[in-house]
Amino acid sequence: MPYQEAPSPPMTPELRAACARAVHVITSDGKILRAGRASLFGLDQLGYHRFARLFAWPPFVWLVELGYWLVARNRRFFSRFLFRRE
């Protein structure tokens, strides 16, 4: 769900500001995952269980976080090459 449409609890002003900078996932047990860890959770839910479990361990999760940070900070650059319209 887009964070702009999320209901007030669990959305707080602090969480809304953080969601503008990175993807967030709130799991069914209330745990909040952000950035690379949220992406790994999404991959696990899509069926990439082994990949997600492997990259959830240090030092791999640090590489995932670094990759997420680089792509998130340079979205315009990456969108020129990766998300081109046909």
Q: Which helix (H) or strand (E) holds 26?
A: strand 24-26
Q: Which residues of 13-47 are buried (b: 16+ CB within 10 A; e: fewer)?
A: eebeeebeebbbeeeeeeeebbbbbbbbbebbeee
DSSP for residue 5: G
pLDDT digits (tens, 9 = 90+) for 17-45: 888 888 989 899 989 899 999 999 999 99
Whole-number percent of the chain with pLDDT over 90: 48
CB-based contact 78:71 (threshold 8 Å): yes
Q: What pLDDT band is residue 86 in, cutting at 50, 70 and 90?
A: low
Cα separation, 11 vs 40, in Å, equals 22
